[in-house]
Amino acid sequence: MPTSSVMSTSSLFGLQLSRLQVACSLLIFLSLAAADCLAPAFSQTHYSMTTLLHCTRDESIMKAFQLMTEGPGEPSLRRIVSKPVRVVFKDMRLLNKSLKNYDALSWMSNQGEQVIFVNDKHRLAPPEALAALIAHEAMHDDAENSLSEEVESWRFEATVWMALKAKNPELNKLAEGTSPLVDRENRLEKELKAGTLEAFVRSSPGYKGLPESSPGFGDKRAQR
């Protein structure tokens, strides 16, 4: 009896262990599958979902980040996550009535905290257009600005837009007026291809009085 009892207990333990192993394996499989469903775009990059969630909680901006993980927009995303910079949609009138028509704005506090505000009217814009706009604003990573910096930032925005649009030809089918942000990006593309982008930027009334250059701008250009 004792021998039989020991053998029975051992067999039961082996069965329980086997079931536990199967359950653990199934749990791991389901966890990996869920991770793939939640963040497929980040599984092959060094930008984890957790890292990006420090910068935004908005789904539309997260989709833009996803497009920036590779290609010409990646240096801007790297700059955003390294601080980190918060990127949020905002009714620009709440910042200042004079800013209501601004597409985006990079704000820097006295403590060095940076926030990129994107006009709330662009919430439904294609992520490619949002990515290009955010890439531009990420260039403004200090309290100083200049005409040279703006020219380079607008040129960078157009470059990112053209690269992303080439991967999604459906964007060419959007009629003018469908998305104000897409209209902006198409205008920049046109100016860049025509060689008139610098003149277009320099003629903006909003940049009147800016110095020609600003500290640190050369370093930003070198990072790309």
Give pLDDT tens digits for 53-71: 999 999 999 999 999 999 9
Strand order in the sheet with 114-119: 86-90, 114-119, 104-108
Residue (of 220, 217, 202, 206) closest to 78 by Cα position: 220
Q: Summarize pLDDT for 92-138 with one digit per residue, the tens.
A: 999 999 999 999 999 988 888 899 999 999 999 999 999 999 999 99
- Is 51 among the domain residues? no
Domain range spanning residue 73? 58-88+125-223
In which band, very low, low, confident or very high, does the pLDDT at 198 lie, cut at 50, 70 and 90?
A: very high
Give the pLDDT score at 15.
36
- Is 33 among the domain residues? no
Q: What is the DSSP string of the chain?
A: -HHHHHHHHHHHHHHHHHHHHHHHHHHHHHHHHHHHHH-GGGTTSS--HHHHHTT---HHHHHHHHHHTSSTTHHHHHHHHHTTPEEEEE-GGGT-GGGTT-SEEEEE-TTS-EEEEEEGGGTTS-HHHHHHHHHHHHT--SS---HHHHHHHHHHHHHHHHHHHHH-GGGGGPPTTS-HHHHHHHHHHHHHHHT-HHHHHHT-GGGTT--S--TTHHHHHHH-
Whether 220 shows a pLDDT value over 70: the answer reads: no
- Is 1 among the domain residues? no
Give the pLDDT score at 216.
64
In which band, very low, low, confident or very high, does the pLDDT at 170 lie, cut at 50, 70 and 90?
A: very high
Count structural domains, the chain: 1
- Is 162 among the domain residues? yes
- Is 150 among the domain residues? yes
Total residue length of the chain: 224
- Is 103 among the domain residues? no
Whether 221 shows a pLDDT value over 90: the answer reads: no
Q: Summarize pLDDT for 4-46 with one digit per residue, the tens.
A: 333 333 333 343 334 444 444 444 333 333 333 334 444 345 7
Mean pLDDT of all residues in the chain? 82
pTM: 0.77
Mean pLDDT over 129-154 rounds to 94
